[in-house]
Structure 1
Amino acid sequence: MSRTAVARVDGDFRRRLAAAFSWTSDRGVYASYADLTGWWRDPDLLRELGPALAGLYDVRPTVVVGPVSRGALVGALAAAALGVGFVEVRKNDGQATDSDRWIRRTTGPDYQDRHVVFGFRRDLVQSGDRVLMVDDWAATGETARVVRALVDDCGAQWIGAACIVDALGDARFRHDLPLRALLDVRNL
């Protein structure tokens, strides 16, 4: 088994995910970015993503949370596969009315050295919930760390973070969160 938890995911599925991924850059530009659009375009991959992410943990959640933007997409797929509800964790957003009760936390530096405020309406996660976070990519672990703190603020039980790609540079996060992924960035 590699440094990511991929044992329960079909090897063919992982190969198809990797094949539909690309690194993209402009001519003359040495930096590239991850192009995930092949995953969304392939109906078979899209249909299989939710169950694959949901299957990374043995503990069954009562709710799945996913940070905007792509975490909301893949989180909703995983929640549907599990037959549980979904909570979108929003960036730099807050209460719409004075009566809304929101909880918010700010990340440490992310992959672009930004500090991002994440939050959701407090009544969406209850103290008895078992919460699984789902996202597309884990680069620094800061998003998962702050979402875990939000879940803790609600008195709910954190299961872990399930991602499509593990690109963590610090192995401690993989264990501490815990974080499990379908692919390791080194295989892309």
Structure 2
Amino acid sequence: MRWVKRDLDGVRNPNRPLGSGRHLRVVAIRGADAGYGSGMDRREAIERVRAAFVWRGDRGDDSSYADVTGWWRDPVLLGALGPLIAGLFEDEPPTVVLGIESRGCLLGPLVAVAFGAGFVEVRKNPSPLADSDAWVRRDTPPDYRDRQLTLGFPRRLVRPADRVLLVDDWIDTGGQAMGARQLVLDVEATWVGVAVIVDALEGNEVRRRLGVRSLLRDRQLS
């Protein structure tokens, strides 16, 4: 486990001594050699992710689907996922984690806690409540279901000084992630990248553009 010193504004501060006042917080970042519950190391935790995954139906058939419910049902694995995914961006810690509903809103807070960062939910086809909040919205390219969605969040929640990481369980076409990236750029914040459990992108262009890092590639899942 590595301890990172940050000011409360989320900026890394390697020089200020620990315990130097109320404007400092200390965040535990679990590295590659850290434990991930019940004495697991990173390799063992990733193997547990693989073991808890099931393809339902004949893979490649239109009726087949990826069953990831085992990831949430295993309490040890669930507790490990936040630090495990955060470890993908240990070298570029964010101040804000984004999660697109619905599974991004399950995983995102776990990763945000591991970083000591805030979390912002990205809504699909948002209908802002009757209040004074201004929303930022973007239409996405076609996603894995060939849908074009509108994504959005309240503008006040992500500020220009923020460093933003998108977290999700799976990336396929990258359509929703591209939309989320544009939202971040629209508010003049810094896009850190995308952290996912499974990368199923077919080519490297989208992967490089989005800055995708993953625990597994889809071909590693049996």
Scaled by the length of structure 2, the TM-score of the pair is 0.78
Q: CA RMSD in A?
A: 1.6
CA deviation after TM superposition for structure 1 residue 84, in Å: 1.1
1:175 and 2:202 equivalent?
no
CA deviation after TM superposition for structure 1 residue 10, in Å: 1.7
Report how many residues are paired: 180
Aligned residue type for 1:167: A
Q: Distance in 2 between matches of 1:44 and 1:124?
A: 31
Match for residue 137 of structure 2? 104
1:48 and 2:80 equivalent?
yes
CA deviation after TM superposition for structure 1 residue 25, in Å: 2.8
Q: Distance in 1 between matches of 2:57 and 2:104?
A: 23
CA deviation after TM superposition for structure 1 residue 12, in Å: 1.3
If asked which structure has higher relative contact order (CA below 8 Å, sep 6+), I would say 1
Question: Identity over aligned residues, as a percent?
Answer: 53
Structure 2, unaligned stretches of length 5 or more?
A: 1-30, 33-40
What does 1:31-180 align with in structure 2 at a 5 Å threshold? 31-57=63-89, 58-97=91-130, 99-180=132-213
Q: Distance in 1 between matches of 2:84 and 2:205?
A: 24
Match for residue 12 of structure 2? none
Tell me the secondary structure at the aligned position of residue 213 of structure 2: strand
What does 1:8-23 align with in structure 2 at a 5 Å threshold? 8=32, 10-23=42-55
Q: Distance in 2 between matches of 1:14 and 1:118?
A: 30
Q: 1:9-54 CA deviation, whole Å, 9 max, x = no partner?
A: 822111110110001139xx76310101000000111011001111
Structure 1, unaligned stretches of length 5 or more?
A: 1-6
Match for residue 24 of structure 2? none
Scaled by the length of structure 1, the TM-score of the pair is 0.91
Aligned residue type for 1:148: R
4+ residue stretches of structure 1 with deviation over 4 A? none
